[in-house]
Amino acid sequence: MIFAFVQFSIVAGTALLFLAINIFNEWLISELNFIPGINWISLAAGICVLATLLLGPVGTVGILIAYLLRDFQSFAWVDVPHTMLSAAAHSVGPYLIYLIADRLYGLQASLSNLTSKRLLLVILACSAVCPALQCLVVRVPENSWEMLNHCLFMFTGNLTGALILTYMLKAVSAVLP
């Protein structure tokens, strides 16, 4: 019973943190949107990377729920499958990278065994896989150049946001005991 409560709390906390960071991101840099939903800096992408690396499947479920809530609320999609595929692309992508990184590096809960170089590789992979999945399953416009632009802008936003949050957290954790 306690285990289920802890798991639920982690999922809910991850979803709430993602939504709060996403709202803050939109408020702070709304002028830097490429199009609605695609930002030059996506701090929420950093939450996706961190939640997945630190919490594994439980963090992934929190991110999935957060994306569903955000997409239904923010963009008012009338197309439920579109929203669900979008949420799955952004939560499953980092989880796949988590599984690969765990296999290659034997991830520890504190991520202490991830060197800066390995962390950068994981961030690059997460930043690339999410837009790729998103563009493949959701945003396949008729114009392939438009699709490529969307993917590149999503990659850029995800990468900058994830780098900012992840290395900020790494710097803070290096100072703390």
Q: pLDDT (tens digit, 9 = 90+) per residue, 61-95?
A: 999 999 888 877 665 555 777 778 888 888 999 99
What pLDDT is recorded for position 173? 77
Checking if the pLDDT of 166 tops 90, the result is: no
Distance CA 47, CA 162 (A): 7
CATH 3.40.1080.10 is held by the domain 2-175: no
Report the phi/psi class of residue 42: left, alpha or beta, with left for phi > 0 and alpha for psi in -120 to 50: beta
More confident: 57 or 142: 57
- How is the chain split into domains, by residue range? 2-175
149, burial (CB in 10 Å: exposed 0-12, middle 13-18, buried 19+): middle
- The whole-number average pLDDT for the span 18-39 is 79
What pLDDT is recorded for position 138? 65
What pLDDT is recorded for position 126? 92
> Which residues, in sequence order, are CB contacts of 164 under 8 Å at separation 6+?
41, 43, 46
What pLDDT is recorded for position 78? 58
